[in-house]
Amino acid sequence: MTKVLRTIAELRAWRNALPSGSKVGLVPTMGALHAGHISLMDLAKTHCDTVIASIFVNPLQFGPQEDLARYPRPIEKDIALLEASGVDALFLPEPTEVYPSDNSTFVVEEAVSLPLCGALRPGHFRGVATVVLKLFNLTQPHFAFFGQKDAQQCAVIERMVRDLNVPVEIVRGAIVREADGLAMSSRNVYLDPAQRAAAPLLYQSLLAAFEAYKAGERDAAKLEALGRATLAHEPSIAIQYWEVRDRSSLAPLQTVGNDGCLIALAAFLGSTRLIDNVLL
């Protein structure tokens, strides 16, 4: 039975009642759970004695023109999925429970969060880092699990944990894909049939660069040109970025060195913004 905790007081009482030796894993989510999230719950169960998920559509990480209001919230279905995957507890707070009306303290990471999504979604990673640190403080997990699909989010959280000496080990879960390669995302439900049919091209553009890399190409500009060319003839896809970056600092690269790289993209299909990446 997944225990649903709606208030900070309930969460703290639940946490305090756990046996002192129990290894606790946290899987923070915004709900609309799919197989990618469930794979994180499964991964958490292999590391931890007790697994808690959170579902909180965090207003602080959405820009004024973004999809906060329409973000899917199928909460009954989500709870059933958590039950089925054997998650011990769910923290399911209201925004007023998480943020006092005069909340004035935020977490700002000032390097890894700046390029890519950070440049295009001002304030997004400030919102993510702030809520994740709050969730860590409330839950006091030994491990926390995040999906590699949000590679920049993982890098920002890892940097925050390192810089602020947060005693939590961050574990990245592999990207889970649909049969046609589209990375699973809660936002895929926004796609109309034509956009859904075009969306797997995003992953194909990453694979095109991956194949060239395997064949020996190390010039970042050439890899980028290949990936972008894969998408050039699909009018329903508008690329926001498609870039070759250092895998941990996210700095731009001219040449891919021995420690590989991250290739990351963001694109709009209509009004739906999707991201994807591969590690080479």
Looking at the annotation, which residues are catalytic? 37
Please answer whether residues 147 and 108 qualify as being in contact, where contact means their C-beta atoms are separated by less than 8 angstroms: no
For the CB of residue 60, give the shortest distance to ligand PAF in the complex, in Å.
Answer: 8
Residue 131 binding ligand PAF, by CB under 6 A = yes
Q: Which is nearer to ligand PAF, 153 or 277 (CB)?
A: 153
Among 2, 39, 50, 61, binds ligand PAF (CB under 6 A): 61
Residue 132 binding ligand PAF, by CB under 6 A = yes
Record the tokens describing residue 34, joined without a space: 């799919």
Closest by Cα among 187, 163, 170 to 107: 163
Among 29, 130, 185, 205, binds ligand PAF (CB under 6 A): 29
Q: How many residues does the chain have?
A: 280
Backbone angles phi, psi at 214, to 5 degrees: -65, -30
Please answer whether residues 24 and 48 qualify as being in contact, where contact means their C-beta atoms are separated by less than 8 angstroms: yes
Residue 28 binding ligand PAF, by CB under 6 A = yes
Q: Which is nearer to ligand PAF, 186 or 230 (CB)?
A: 186
Site mask for ligand PAF (CB under 6 A), range 152-191, x = bound: -x--------------------------------------
What is d(CA 94, CA 145) in angstroms, rounded to the nearest whole number? 22
Q: Could you give the angle at the alpha carbon of 273 between the alpha carbons of 268 and 279, nearest 5°?
A: 95
Backbone angles phi, psi at 227, to 5 degrees: -65, -45
Q: Which is nearer to ligand PAF, 117 or 212 (CB)?
A: 117
Q: Applying CB under 6 A, which residues contact ligand PAF?
A: 28-30, 58, 61, 128, 131-132, 150, 153
